[in-house]
Structure formats: C-alpha cells, structure tokens
Structure 1
C-alpha cells in the first residue's frame, strides 16, 4: 500500500497538520465531518487518484470577516504552505472596494474564488457573470444567492441561533428575563439567519423572555463597543446578550466601561485568540464555534475538485458550545502576523 504522509493529507484536504495528526493518531477529538474528509482523501491518495487540491491551483480567498476569524484562516493557510493561495483581507472595506476587488479577480475565470461578502446587487451580478464564464465560486461563512456560487461552506447559521436561544433560554426560563442582541449587518446572511433562529426559538419555547434592544456593531471593535455601550446605557439591567457577529473585543470593552463585566450572561460566536481570553476572564460565558481551519479545508477542496458532488451545494460543518472549561484545541494562543 502506498505510504501517505501527513503533509500529503494536509495538502489534499486543506486541513492543518495538527488536525490530520489528531485524526490519524487519536491525539484529540475530531469532528465526524472532518474525519470523513480526511478518510476520503486518504483513500484517493492510496489508489493514486490525486485530488485537484494537491495540484498547485491558484486560488483567491476574499474575506470580509472579523479579526479573530481572519487570523485563524491566515494561520491555517500558513501551515498549509501553498503560495498559490492568495488571501485578500477585506476587513471593514466598503462595498465599492469589495466590488472592485471581486471584479478584478473575476477577470480570470480559471482561478477559483472563495468569498465572504455582504449581499448586494452589483456583487451578485458580477459573480453570476463570472460563473457563466466557468469560474468556480465557493461562499464561506455567509451565503449568497444560488446563482452566484457553486457551493457554500459554513455552520448551519439558523440552527446556531436556535442553539443560542436554547442555552440562554434554559438558563433563565420564563422568568421575565431581558435580552439584548448584537448584530453586524443584515446584508450578511449569516447574521440574519442566526438572529432569526434566536428570535423564533425564544418565541416558541420561552415566551416570557423579552428582546429589548438590538445593537449594530458592523463586526468592528469600535462599532461594537459604541453600539453595545449605548445598549447598556439604555438597559443596564439586561440579563443576557447574544452577539451573532464579530467585534467581541469591543463588546468586552463596552461591558468594562459600563462596570458590568461579568454581570450579564454573554454568548457569542467563534473560539479564537480574541474570545478565548474573554472566556477565561469570565467576561464571555459561552461561544458557539467551529474549527475554522477544517471549514476552510472543506472550502479549498470544493474550490479545486474537478467536478462538484451531486448532492446539495450547501456543506455544513459541525459547531460546538464552548466555555472556559472546554476551550477547544484548535484555538491558537496568538494571532499570526497578517500581510497584505
């Protein structure tokens, strides 16, 4: 039988060597879907069917996400060691800048594109036209209409919102608790779906709980700090806050500035170098998170396969609920240096 190295599997799947090592040697927990991707790649390599991901395929990754997630993606790509993958960090770029970047990259239909962006009509038109010319497009974390992409990789965002309601509702029951919600922007479908899932589950199962304020933080430190500060000034008696978006450092500083750190129950998204210290300090109580490296590995695989699977183009990855007591192993202690 052909000997397959961890490096071979890392290149084939887009997963980090640490994740591959955990899966092969039982050194820690690995999500079932991640294990399935590794097993499939191992089988392909052993029979000599070299996946396209092994080839030096130029790929563009354009992400408008928070600082924690972009650092995780950058770290996983550094570990992968594929210089043909270009990461374009679009943090806080406006829609004109996003459209200009995507339009420039869509000029070459041979380069697959992995994308996180707001849903806007000009962007949709650009992507649909590029797909018509044969460009492979994979949306990541936040989806776009089906005619603009070939596949979508994310957690199930509506289910994540329902999970948040299940956790917080279970803590407070129907005792008249008052909750606040922090969103980034409804133009991100992931934010909209999480918030919808949260509201609908509370209405169905915890009608005594009131959602009294919605803060819009635009996924940024400053925007979230200011929006949450205004929410706390208006409602200092909130029992819990659910942050569907990024900007967790700003959320924490707003709580500190209001003298309310540790007073409310806080549930947010992502386990990374920003949220892990907040969990340890007791400022954030729960995070809903996935292994971003594994999720990006799935996106890279779908971007480079010669043909896509016949099943649904929506590919959900597993997520978990984490606290200070079970911070996952995929969290790195510090962010890698970002270039470009």
Structure 2
C-alpha cells in the first residue's frame, strides 16, 4: 500500500496542502519544512518495504462496518456477517466487524486511521460529507470500499452491492396503487433516517409511481421515523389524527411490525393498506394474519457474501469482471409468507 498524502502529513506534522506543495517542488515552501516532508516520505517507504507484505496476500483482511444507529435491519445484517465466517474462510477472507458512529465527524475521522490498515472495507454508509471524505481517504490509500444495502454513488467507493432501491420503491408504489384501486385519500411514507440513501431512493421511487399513475392518491412524507414499536405507535396515532383520509402507509425502513400492531389497536387496520420491508418471523406471522399487506425483502446474507467477494476481486485487479449477480427485490404476500 503506498504512503498517502495524509499519512505523510501526519508523520511530518504538516497539512496535506503543504505535502502537495512539497511534492510539486513549490519553492515557496520553507526548506526545513520541505526536508521534514521528504524525511517522512522516505521513512514511510522504508517501513512498508520492511514489512515484506506481498502485493497479493494469501489471506485478505476485510473490515465490515455498519453505522451505529438503532435498526433491527442492521442488527440482522450484523448477525449474518457473524454467521458467514465459514464462507469467508473458504474464500481467503479474514473478516472484522465494526460499528461506527458516522453521524460524528470526529469519530469517523478517528476510525479512518484504523480502517486504513485493512486490505478492503465493506460498509453501509450514512450520507454525510465526512463519510464521503472517509471513503476518499481509503481510496487514496488503495483500500477499496464496497458499499452494501445503502449506497453513496457520488463517493469514491469501488462498487455497490445491493438491490436497486429506487426500483424497490417503485414496486411498492405500484402495489399500493393496485391495492387501493380507485379509492381517494392520503398515503403516508415513513422513513427511519434521512441520512440513509436507500430510504431516500425508495421514497423517491414510490412517489414517482403515485404521481405518474395514481393521481387519486396524495402522499405525505414522515422522515426520521422512530423504528421501535413504541415510536411506531406514537407515529401512527399522529398520522390518524392529522389525516382523516389516510388510506395507506409505506415504511421504507424498519418499524413495520410496530406500525401493524398500532394500526390493529386503533381499529383502523381494515381500511389502511400497509406495505414495508424486511421479512422476519414476526412479519411472516403478520402477513398471514393480514396485519400487513406486502413485505419487500432482499437476500441479506447473499449480499454480504457478494460484497466480500467484490472486495477481493478489486484487490486482485479483477476490474470490470466482478461476476456479482444483481440482487432482486422479493415480494411477499399472505399467500407466500411461509414459502
């Protein structure tokens, strides 16, 4: 791994901009400062040469990183990473797992110093400028980053592995419109976090279909929805109080079980179509009981596996030939809830 400008700057005690000027042979830089930068660069090169690490190691160290937020879905992802240990061993991957508070610029920057020692990263990012910078720093250090489940398409990530979330939202919108037929009313879109790109994409796709094909339905967004059951109950009470014509609810993230329970307790479940994401034992049961109309799901463990393979393909310079299948969104109704 080559020494990055940030590593040189840290070793020399100067700014990255100063390192850039020295490497461009800017004569305006003081000689003693330029000497410190050149010494730092030479030292880092010597240290890396002495390690003797091969360009293509027999085992790849890959860090799997999830945001430190309250999410049942991410808890599910964490479990599937742990359960994938044997798969990773078969493919010469030594995985490490982290939760990082990406909402904190300071913690994200601090974590980059640890992450830079890995061969590759697989991460579910939050949409903050400093998270994009975090990915850029790793890319500069030749550490490929593969995003999963939620993407940051404008960043320097090497690849994204996950479903097409805008298409998933469009699918939910089409199903909502079909279920409601010619009924007139309001559909609420509940999103757990405005910093998760997957939820923004789902909301966008959902609203596009309603605006294009179902003019009888008006949609309203409820961002930063609390995904726990108690928060879901309060959110549903507020929705019913604000929208007497509420006919549908679409949850782009977690909390669908709590929403279903709250609607059942309110006595309004029969007239409201409920669509969400994430097939679990609880949502299977609620589908069978008609407490939920539709669940959209994805192959979480498969995506974790494919992301790990994509990371080592980049390390092996298998560019443009990742051979990673495009994950599909699965649709579950009452009839196939236990299929």
> Which TM-score applies when normalising by structure 2?
0.71
Cross-structure match for 1:207: 215
Shift of 1:264: 1.6
Distance 2:131 2:202 in 1: 23
Distance 2:78 2:66 in 1: 9
2:250 is the counterpart of 1:242 = yes
Q: How does 1:48-87 map to 2 (within 5 A)?
A: 56-64=59-67, 66-75=71-80, 77-81=82-86, 82=88, 84-87=94-97
Deviations 1:132-160 (A, max 9, x none): 11011011111113433100011111111
Provide closer, same or farther for how the CA distance between residues 130 and 222 of structure 1 changes in structure 2, counting only shifts above 3 A. Answer: farther
Runs of 5+ unmatched residues, structure 2: 1-55
Cross-structure match for 1:265: 273
Q: How does 1:102-181 map to 2 (within 5 A)?
A: 102-108=111-117, 110-181=118-189
Provide closer, same or farther for how the CA distance between residues 313 and 186 of structure 1 changes in structure 2, counting only shifts above 3 A. Answer: farther
Provide closer, same or farther for how the CA distance between residues 316 and 262 of structure 1 changes in structure 2, counting only shifts above 3 A. Answer: farther
Give yes or no for contact 1:154–1:315 (8 Å, CA) kept in 2: no
Deviations 1:269-305 (A, max 9, x none): 1212342232233221101111111111111110112
Give yes or no for contact 1:117–1:142 (8 Å, CA) kept in 2: yes
Give yes or no for contact 2:63–2:98 (8 Å, CA) kept in 1: yes
Query: Of the candidates 327, 333, 338, which is equivalent to residue 317 of structure 1?
Result: 327
Give yes or no for contact 1:59–1:85 (8 Å, CA) kept in 2: yes
Q: How does 1:217-296 map to 2 (within 5 A)?
A: 217-296=225-304
Provide closer, same or farther for how the CA distance between residues 286 and 258 of structure 1 changes in structure 2, counting only shifts above 3 A. Answer: same
Give yes or no for contact 1:69–1:272 (8 Å, CA) kept in 2: no
Is the partner of 1:88 in helix, strand or coil? strand
Provide closer, same or farther for how the CA distance between residues 133 and 218 of structure 1 changes in structure 2, counting only shifts above 3 A. Answer: farther
Give yes or no for contact 1:137–1:150 (8 Å, CA) kept in 2: yes
Give yes or no for contact 2:116–2:141 (8 Å, CA) kept in 1: no
State the structure with bigger RCO (CA 8 A, min sep 6), 1 or 2.
1
Distance 2:308 2:298 in 1: 16
Distance 1:310 1:254 in 2: 48
Larger radius of gyration: 2
Is the partner of 1:266 in helix, strand or coil? strand
Instruction: Single out whichever of 116-125 and 247-256 deviates more from structure 2.
Output: 247-256
Shift of 1:69: 4.6
Provide closer, same or farther for how the CA distance between residues 70 and 313 of structure 1 changes in structure 2, counting only shifts above 3 A. Answer: farther
Shift of 1:96: 4.7
Shift of 1:190: 0.9
Give yes or no for contact 1:183–1:243 (8 Å, CA) kept in 2: yes
Provide closer, same or farther for how the CA distance between residues 128 and 94 of structure 1 changes in structure 2, counting only shifts above 3 A. Answer: closer
Is the partner of 2:123 in helix, strand or coil? strand
> Which TM-score applies when normalising by structure 1?
0.71
Deviations 1:188-220 (A, max 9, x none): 111111111111111111111111453531544
Provide closer, same or farther for how the CA distance between residues 277 and 307 of structure 1 changes in structure 2, counting only shifts above 3 A. Answer: farther
Provide closer, same or farther for how the CA distance between residues 213 and 191 of structure 1 changes in structure 2, counting only shifts above 3 A. Answer: closer
Deviations 1:238-292 (A, max 9, x none): 2111111112233234324433345421110121234223223322110111111
Provide closer, same or farther for how the CA distance between residues 193 and 138 of structure 1 changes in structure 2, counting only shifts above 3 A. Answer: same
How many pairs are equivalent?
275
Cross-structure match for 2:337: 327
Cross-structure match for 2:16: none
